[in-house]
Amino acid sequence: MLTEVRVMTSHNRRHTYPVQCAARRPLPLLAWAALPLLLTAVVLGFTSLGELVLGASGTTVLTSAHAGAAAGLTAIVGHSIEWPPGWQRWNWPYAALILATGVALHGTAVPAILAITLGIPSGALLLHMTRLHKTLVRGYRG
């Protein structure tokens, strides 16, 4: 898909440049489903690691803000993936389920060792997924 970008120069001349952007990216459905859980684990893990380095308490509190960010990211990313026929209708209900779960679990104390043990590998997995996705997008564009 080509999009035109108009740029005004200092001499008030308009220039139009074609910009290629991938409107549909081949993110696997399983990666999309795991995204909110991985994101929440990474945030809790690095928060716990920071508290440990600073000598703060041994627990981190899971808040609805964590789930809200994860649900929002899930909903946004869900619009840019390749869906099997008839499955796209699950995008918003799944994001709403993540948000509702976060509201229900708001205030839950997570032990620092558990958060760090799950958060650091989740961060590595998210980085790997990002690199793999970039490789797939490059191959997808041709």
pLDDT at 68 over 50: yes
Average pLDDT (30-48) is 92
Full-model pTM:
0.74
**pLDDT, tens only, 80-114:** 787 888 888 899 999 999 999 999 999 999 999 99
**pLDDT, tens only, 4-23:** 555 555 555 555 544 444 44
Q: Which residue has 């489903």 as its token pair?
A: 33
Q: What is d(CA 113, CA 98) in angstroms, rounded to the nearest whole number?
A: 24
